[in-house]
Homo-oligomer: A and B are copies of this chain.
Amino acid sequence: MRQSHLFTKTRKENPSDEVSKNAELLIRAGYIHKEIAGAYSFLPLGLRVLENIKTIIREEMNREGGQEVFMTALQDKSIWEKTDRWDDAKVDNWFKTTIKGGGETGLAITHEEPLTNIMTGFISSYRDLPRYAYQFQNKFRNEARAKSGIMRGREFLMKDMYDFSKNEAEHNEFYNKMREAYIRTFDRLGIGEKTYVTFASGGIFSPFSEEFQTLSDAGEDMIYVDEKKKLAVNKEVYNDEALAKLNLKKEDLVEKKSIEVGNIFHLGTKFSVPLGLFYTDEKGEKQPVYMGSYGMGPSRIMGTIVEVLSDEKGIVWPTSIAPFSLHLIALYKNKDEESYKKAESLYNDLTAKGVEVLFDDREASPGNKFADSDLIGIPMRVVVSEKSLTAGGVEIKERTSDTSEIVTVEELFKTYQKNCE
């Protein structure tokens, strides 16, 4: 894409109403726009990153047999009354509103209830199990405060997967697969090294749930990390009894702040029983379906990546989710120059090869172009200038490197294939 056509622009000043680094940088670079506190629109660059994150997550969910759905935000109150999660005294972050035709509705905070209800129409026998369904969908939560940018929103994108299993053993088998899928996903998203499987409080069906916590001073969670075992425990279960069960020792644990980027949870029969999701087993007996839930927030992950990987110059995207693979910059005074023409033909050639290129064809100073490029954070920068052409080619520089080198166009294609495919 030609940067001269892109409707967003960078800005030098931080927005006055943001305190989080992720919102500051993403707004300055033109990725997002704040609508109200805790609700951000995704602009062209931002949507590209979000879609790249979704693609990786989707591949991992499909690989484990997940079937993708897309559910509504508007909720049927009667379903939530069955699990006693409609009452504001029980669940305090609903956005509720009235329907003109009569009645009350709310905006889904999560989707255990409606999906369990849907499944009652399709699951009746052990032959119908197990089943796995997931979606990418905007959740709404009426938070009292929202100061963490896109890391905690009143409206935010969530990937929520659910399993419907015959019994605890079948559920556990899937739960263990999902733990591995989550670890693979965070690796592919570029935050694997900083992300810890973290034991947190469970429910009536299990002593623990597991969270995926990414180390960051911007985090709202406090965890205790065993770096050798690559495990952690959340502060809420940091006690002698829990540590003994988990075979962890206090002296091996270091206190760290962190961001919860995902969680996997044993739901047991908490939703199937009140919502009537039963099946007939091999012996003809009626049994409740055994469930689990698996959450991951693509927009929160995007914010987390900005928090943990950016530097003083701006954002640093991992190659796997960058809005473009290459930032091609033409330095020129007028478009008749060889440097502009070479850059343009390189842009056309790369695009024809399927490489995603942001082409800075704007009339702007080199200083402005480099500053914008660092702020936007595309992993590889390619400069075409009179100087680079005299030196025999184009100047390439990785976003995370301080040094650049001159390569020929043929070498660029090779380097691209090495780094970006």
Binding site for B on A (CB under 8 A): 5-9, 30, 33, 35-37, 39-44, 47, 50, 65, 67-76, 93, 95-97, 99-101, 105, 107, 114, 118-119, 121-123, 128, 131, 133, 138, 140, 142-146, 154-155, 164
Contacts and interface: CB of A to CB of B under 8 A. Distances in A.
Contacts of A119: 7
A37 B93 CA distance: 24
Contacts of A128: 7
B96 A97 contact: yes
Contacts of A133: 7, 44
A70 B44 CA distance: 8
A36 B98 CA distance: 12
A99 B68 contact: no
Given A5-B65, A42-B70, A131-B7, A75 B144 contact: no
Contact of A41 (B8, B70, B123, B155): B70
Contacts of A5: 65, 67
A30 B121 CA distance: 10
Contacts of A144: 100-101
14 contacts: A5-B67, A7-B164, A30-B122, A33-B121, A37-B101, A39-B72, A41-B69, A41-B72, A42-B69, A50-B70, A72-B155, A73-B155, A74-B155, A101-B145
Nearest to A105: B36
Given A36-B99, A36-B105, A97-B95, A44 B69 contact: yes
A214 to B, nearest CB: 24
B74 A39 contact: yes
Contact of A9 (B36, B37, B122): B122
A154 B67 contact: no
Contact of A154 (B33, B74, B93, B118): B74
Contact of A70 (B47, B105, B146): B47
Contacts of A93: 100
A133 B144 CA distance: 32
Contacts of A69: 41-44, 47
B43 A75 contact: no
Contacts of A36: 72, 74-76, 99, 105
A145 B100 CA distance: 8
A73 B73 contact: yes
A388 B42 CA distance: 53
Nearest to A128: B7
A30 B145 CA distance: 40
A41 B107 CA distance: 14
Contact of A140 (B7, B9, B74): B74
A375 B6 CA distance: 45
Contacts of A96: 97
Contact of A40 (B39, B68, B72): B72
A67 B6 contact: yes
Contacts of A7: 67, 119, 122-123, 128, 131, 133, 164
Contacts of A154: 74, 99
A100 B143 contact: yes
Given A101-B144, A142-B99, A72 B35 contact: yes
B67 A118 contact: no
Contacts of A114: 35, 41
Contacts of A6: 67
A129 B175 CA distance: 52
Contacts of A97: 95-97, 107, 142
Contacts of A72: 35-36, 39-41, 155
**Most B-side CB within 10 Å, residue of A35, A93, A143:** A35
A179 to B, nearest CB: 22
Nearest to A362: B127
A76 B41 CA distance: 12
**Most B-side CB within 10 Å, residue of A74, A118, A145:** A74
Contacts of A138: 73, 138
